[in-house]
Structure 1
Amino acid sequence: MRTHGAPRTAALRLPDTGHECAQARAFTNRTLTVWQLGHCRDDALSIVSELVANAVVHARPANPADGAEPEVWLKLTLRPHHLVCAVTDQGSALPACPRTTDQLHEHGRGLHIIDALSQHWGWTRSAPTGKTVWAMLPTRRSARTDGTATP
């Protein structure tokens, strides 16, 4: 895997089809195969799924009748030691980790999952409206105490 020099980037616009998460996972899977990052696949697919699901829900236009389609982009960037998964949407709602005591509640767990799987995550505002939510995964295989690499 070549990680020296300029970062590699792959981007995908996700049209409002109802299959955005599946498209994002397939795109991520293909990109990680090309970049020889199979050892990052499971965590990256989970993170991308959560980021895209949040963006699709929170980027919906206030008035769907006006014909405006939500603009959602997935961008993967391979840096020397990290894979950055970033999703940009036009929603004004900022990411928040809701607190819930119900472990079986279907909503509100996405950012907790991203936090658990990534080394770092955060968000930035996009101009003129919207935001980008990103998560970083280390690309190096970690060494176990017995000296073998973990997959």
Structure 2
Amino acid sequence: MVRVGDPGTTPVFPYGPLPAAPHEEPHSAAEAAHTASDPVVLRIARGPEGLARARSFTRDTLRDWSLGHRCDDATLVMTELAANAVTHAAPRCAGAPDVRLGFRLEPAHLLLTVSDPDDRAPVLAPGAGSGLEEHGRGLHIVDALSEAWGWTPTPPAGKTVWARLSTSPPT
């Protein structure tokens, strides 16, 4: 599993290519059936309505792309990333634009992105993923469900946090 937590990694959607996968293996027939798609972007408002819209849009997009088998994990990852942006980043930037979600389907991967107006790095709280804490587990969940995740600055201001999930059906 690749973990990226510092800026300066290869820029990602919508600004450039994905970072290299931890290992590339020949594509199976199921993976070959998924072709690269045009990115899909959604702007959400800050608040519970925006998060509900993020969940619904994620499920609808994955079903449209015949990725129902990835729907639960992708929806949870997108919800955690969006919740972090809405809760921690957007409130620090009064008058800044809303949070933007992005989806891109590639032959073997699904890329989920959340862009927000705050320049500060996401924080993976130490030890927060192991207990029954009410807060601080979001990035631990993202880390557990994705092949890789990270963030990149988005000039002129803000950042994009991304997660890459496999499109392969569960075995």
Is the TM-score greater than 0.5?
yes
What stretches of structure 1 of length at least 5 have no aligned partner? Answer: 143-149
Partner of 1:123, secondary structure, is strand
Higher RCO, 1 or 2 (CA under 8 Å, sep at least 6)? 2
What residue is the counterpart of 2:107 in the other structure?
80
Give the superposed CA RMSD.
Answer: 2.0
Cα deviation digits, residues 92-117 of structure 1 (max 9, x gap): 22112111367122111111000000
Q: Deviations over 1:70-129 (max 9, x none)?
A: 420000100111011100000122112111367122111111000000001010001111
Residues 1:108 and 2:108 are matched in the alignment: no
Aligned to 1:120: 148
Q: Contact 2:146/2:164 (CA < 8 Å) preserved in 1?
A: yes
Question: In the aligned structure 2, how far is the partner of 1:39 from the partner of 1:62?
Answer: 36
Deviation at 1:59, TM superposition (A): 2.5
Distance, in Å, in 2 between the alignment partners of 1:139 and 1:92 is: 30
CA distance in 1, matches of 2:124, 2:54: 22
1:45 and 2:72 are equivalent in the alignment: no
Provide the rounded CA distance (Å) in 1 between the counterparts of 2:112 and 2:97. 19
Larger Rg: 1
Structure 2 residue runs without a partner (length 5+): 1-29
Contact in 1 for aligned 2:96/2:117 (Cα 8 Å): no
**Is the Cα–Cα contact under 8 Å of residues 16 and 70 in structure 1 kept in the other structure?**
no
* 1:3 maps onto 2:34 in alignment: yes
> How far did 1:139 drift?
0.3
Deviation string, structure 1 residues 19-72 (Cα, Å, up to 9, x no partner): 2211101001110111000010110011011000000012234475xxx15420
TM-score by length of 1: 0.83
- Name the SS for the 1:19 alignment partner: helix
